């Protein structure tokens, strides 16, 4: 993996939710990208208080969040549920932190930027809160952003989302059912079924919460508030890495070879597209990687200027931790923090 350069300034960094799957991934990514950490503060739930975690070659003691436990901080990464993020945001703002939140709590707030750094880092407006998008949204809008010159008229998604998107409970349920035991987390045996429900009822024409996230976040990130977007989100019996099938209807005519070249030239994207030689994105290729892999690029024969493509990405890395860390690094490089 390419290492980031050394930085002139170092930062006091807090990570909230350090013991979860995404939290542990945050620590690996911070190390691998050589994030300029001056001081690292790790927070977790009350049950983990006092435990130690190894990072950057030393042990760190986990803290529980109180007004007194959060001292002056430059950057705080949140890897928590939405409710917790809402409660703790004021505490870290009072400590002087720039908050980069991986939960959904801040994503729909029009004042708070929702950023995929390769797409819209310039959306940062000086706010001290930045929302990290949904994992499936990130890997879909990154290649979609390469199509902006053609005018995007509509987007439809079908996702194939790994159980790691449900955290440790999801992985445990897959392993449990693969060993012939009854599941305890999903409503059906995840080792034998694809489950077309992620999240609860989104309260929106029969869409689930996950589907509503993808709809709203796509519009916000691409700056197309009236863009028609639909989604069907499916949990599949794969441990890690999400796949998204994307259908986009474009305003202008296009040459498919040029589209493939433009996707190949997009930062953060790698095209794998040779059907004759079985070269296309799969989860094993994406696992542990920070690239969004794109393939099966072809015309949609049901629409005049329709385009189909398929993406795969590591949902714990580019879909969560890596994207958040890249946001911070991008702002550091731009001298905005």
Per residue in 238-270, pLDDT tens?
Answer: 999 999 999 999 999 999 999 999 999 999 999
Cα separation, 314 vs 240, in Å, equals: 7
- Cβ distance 330 to 121 under 8 Å? yes
pLDDT of residue 133: 98
Taking only Cα atoms into account, the Rg of the chain, rounded to an integer number of angstroms, comes to 20
Alpha helices (H) in the chain, listed in sequence order:
21-32, 82-94, 117-120, 135-144, 168-178, 209-222, 256-264, 283-286, 322-333
Catalytic residue among 135, 194, 241, 277: 135
pLDDT > 70: percent of the chain: 98
222 — pLDDT class (breaks 50, 70, 90)? very high
pLDDT of residue 5: 57
39 to each of 99, 245, 301, how far by Cα in Å?
A: 16, 41, 55
Lowest mean pLDDT among 40-54, 169-183, 254-268, 286-300: 40-54
**pTM score of the predicted model:** 0.96
pLDDT of residue 2: 46
Per residue in 56-106, pLDDT tens?
Answer: 999 999 999 988 889 999 999 999 999 999 999 999 999 999 999 999 999
- Give the phi and the psi of residue 185 in degrees, each rounded to 5: -120, -55
Judge whether residue 1 has pLDDT over 80. Answer: no
Cα separation, 96 vs 308, in Å, equals: 45
Per residue in 270-323, pLDDT tens?
Answer: 999 999 999 999 999 999 999 999 999 999 999 999 999 999 999 999 999 999
- Cβ distance 120 to 223 under 8 Å? yes
Averaged over 22-47, what is the pLDDT?
Answer: 96
Catalytic residue among 106, 233, 241, 242: 242
pLDDT of residue 4: 47
Residue 242 is among the residues annotated as catalytic for this protein: yes
Per residue in 109-159, pLDDT tens?
Answer: 999 999 999 999 999 999 999 999 999 999 999 999 999 999 999 999 999
pLDDT of residue 45: 87
Residue 194 is among the residues annotated as catalytic for this protein: no
């Amino acid at each position: 993996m390419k290492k980031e350069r050394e930085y002139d300034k170092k930062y006091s960094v807090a990570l909230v939710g350090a013991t979860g799957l995404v939290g542990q991934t945050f620590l690996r990514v911070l190390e691998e990208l050589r994030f300029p950490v001056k001081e690292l503060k790790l927070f977790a739930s009350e049950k983990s208080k006092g435990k130690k975690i190894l990072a950057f070659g030393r042990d760190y003691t986990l803290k529980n969040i109180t007004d007194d436990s959060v001292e002056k901080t430059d950057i705080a990464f949140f890897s928590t549920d939405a409710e917790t993020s809402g409660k703790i945001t004021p505490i870290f703002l009072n400590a002087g932190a720039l908050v980069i939140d991986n939960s959904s709590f801040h994503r729909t707030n029009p004042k708070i930027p929702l950023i995929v750094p390769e797409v819209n880092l310039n959306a940062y407006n000086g706010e001290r809160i930045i929302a990290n998008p949904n994992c499936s949204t990130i890997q879909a809008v990154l290649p979609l952003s390469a199509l902006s010159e053609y005018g995007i008229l509509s987007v439809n998604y079908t996702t194939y989302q790994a159980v790691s998107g449900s955290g440790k409970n999801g992985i445990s349920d897959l392993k449990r059912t693969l060993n012939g035991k009854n599941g305890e987390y999903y409503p059906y045996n995840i080792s034998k079924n694809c489950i077309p429900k992620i999240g609860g009822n989104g309260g929106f024409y029969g869409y689930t919460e996950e589907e509503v996230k993808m709809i709203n976040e796509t519009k916000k990130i691409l700056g197309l508030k009236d863009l028609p977007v639909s989604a069907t989100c499916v949990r599949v019996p794969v441990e890690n890495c999400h796949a998204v099938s994307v259908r986009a209807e474009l305003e202008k005519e296009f040459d498919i070879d040029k589209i493939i070249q433009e996707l190949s030239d997009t930062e953060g994207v790698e095209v794998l597209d040779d059907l004759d030689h079985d070269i296309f994105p799969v989860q094993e290729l994406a696992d542990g990687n920070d690239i969004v892999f794109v393939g099966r690029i072809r015309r949609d024969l049901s629409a005049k200027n329709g385009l189909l493509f398929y993406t795969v990405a590591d949902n714990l890395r580019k879909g969560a931790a890596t994207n958040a860390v890249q946001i911070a690094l991008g702002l550091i490089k731009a001298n905005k923090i």
